[in-house]
Amino acid sequence: MTTPRADDTGAPVIRLRSASFGYADRAVVSGADLTVRPGEALALLGPNGCGKSTLVKGLLGLNDHLGGEVELFGTPLARFHRRSRIGYVPQRHTLSSSVSATVREIVATGRLPHQGLLARLGARDRQIMDQALDVVGLTDQTRQDVSTLSGGQQRRVLIARALAGEPDALVMDEPTAGVDVANQRLLTTVLQRLRDRGVGLLIVTHEVEALTPVLDRIVHMSAGRITFDGSVAEFEQARRADVLALGDPHHHHHEDEDHAPGDGRPPAPWVHRAGVGASGIRREAAPAIGAGGPARATRRGQDG
């Protein structure tokens, strides 16, 4: 039995149209248009606090969807239930030191959606887990308690867990943070292989250089808005021309730099997307979303 690696209908794995996300009705990300197709790898860049994590969590239904449309594999977010098709590596390791679990046990949870209730791990499950542990370089640590691992090793456990789920799309929030160069390379090779098999990849990162061989496109955000969406070469051009006010991708800025006011620059010619380029790069605070009523945007898919 073979599992299809990409959506049969050819629908984008992720599609946002003018999507807004936030917390408790405060929009942090506004008017985001973004499409990830099967076999496409995108990096999402931008300064600290611009809303990258909010965007990726939002499209997974992990915070408030305040406007616009979100579709996963062609299905509106509110009606999407095949969660196991999307692997998610959250930002910062969330493996609590108060929970005692081995590396293998954590990775095994990645197989849960593929098992029946109370089902035991079969030979195939074990094989996939072994492969996942191998590609992140943790084969020798499988019996170790995760609380004894370094931050970078814990990130690799979370990556292995996501890989063990055999997802058709992978959303990763800074997967290479704290991971040494050798393992970053390993991860890049794995991501390349997944992409070639039709898996769609959306990767939030501050370390785009390590991932460049995998990437089809780079998306850049600033102050809650997507300000660039283009090829790696176009991004490099834009960066060299300094038309995006990209800043230093490694720069960790302070609280008060968040949502910097407009810098008055003209819209970047590199911004390909209709609606961003056409209206220029908007850097002012996002308009209040949902002012027309309490409409929970998560229901939009059903309403219209």
Ligand X SMILES: Nc1ncnc2c1ncn2[C@@H]1O[C@H](COP(=O)(O)OP(=O)(O)OP(=O)(O)O)[C@@H](O)[C@H]1O
The nearer residue to ligand X, 38 or 46, going by C-beta atoms, is 46
Q: Does 53 bind ligand X (CB under 6 A)?
A: yes
Q: How far is the CB of 257 from ligand X (least distance, A)?
A: 11
Q: Which stretch binds ligand X (CB under 6 A): 2-10, 45-53, 136-144, 186-194?
A: 45-53
136 close to 182: Cβ distance less than 8 angstroms: no
Distance between CA atoms of 237 and 192, rounded to whole angstroms?
24
The only residue of 31, 46, 110, 175 in contact with ligand X, by rule CB under 6 A:
46
Among 16, 27, 28, 271, binds ligand X (CB under 6 A): 28
Buried-state track 260-275, b at ≥16 Cβ within 10 A, e below 16: beeeeeeebebbebee
Cβ-based neighbours of 25, under 8 Å, separated by 6 or more: 64, 66, 289, 290
Which pair of structure tokens corresponds to residue 281? 């790069």
Q: Is the dihedral of CA 176, 177, 179, 185 positive or negative?
A: positive
Residue 52 as a binder of ligand X (CB under 6 A): the answer is: yes
In the complex, minimum distance from the CB of residue 258 to ligand X, in angstroms, rounded to a whole number:
5
Q: Binding to ligand X by residue 51, rule CB under 6 A?
A: yes
Per CB under 6 A, the segment of 43-51, 117-125, 155-163, 227-235 that binds ligand X is: 43-51
Q: Which of residues 256-295 bind ligand X (CB under 6 A)?
A: 258
> Does 184 engage in binding with ligand X (CB under 6 A)?
no
> Does residue 90 belong to the site contacting ligand X (CB under 6 A)?
no
Nearer to ligand X, 132 or 244 (CB): 244
Q: Does 23 bind ligand X (CB under 6 A)?
A: yes
Q: Does 67 bind ligand X (CB under 6 A)?
A: no
Residue closer to ligand X by CB (options 168, 229) is 229
What's the angle, vertex CA 137, arms to CA 181 and CA 184, rounded to 5? Answer: 25
Instruction: Give the shortest CB-23-to-ligand X separation in angstroms.
Output: 4
**Residues 185 and 207 sit within 8 Å (Cβ to Cβ):** no
- Residue 276 Cβ, how far from ligand X at the closest point, in Å? 17
User: Closest separation between CB of residue 255 and ligand X, Å?
Assistant: 8
- C-beta of residue 219 within 8 angstroms of C-beta of residue 45: yes
Burial class (CB in 10 A: 0-12, 13-18, 19+), 144: middle
Binding site for ligand X (CB under 6 A): 23, 28, 46, 48-54, 91, 258
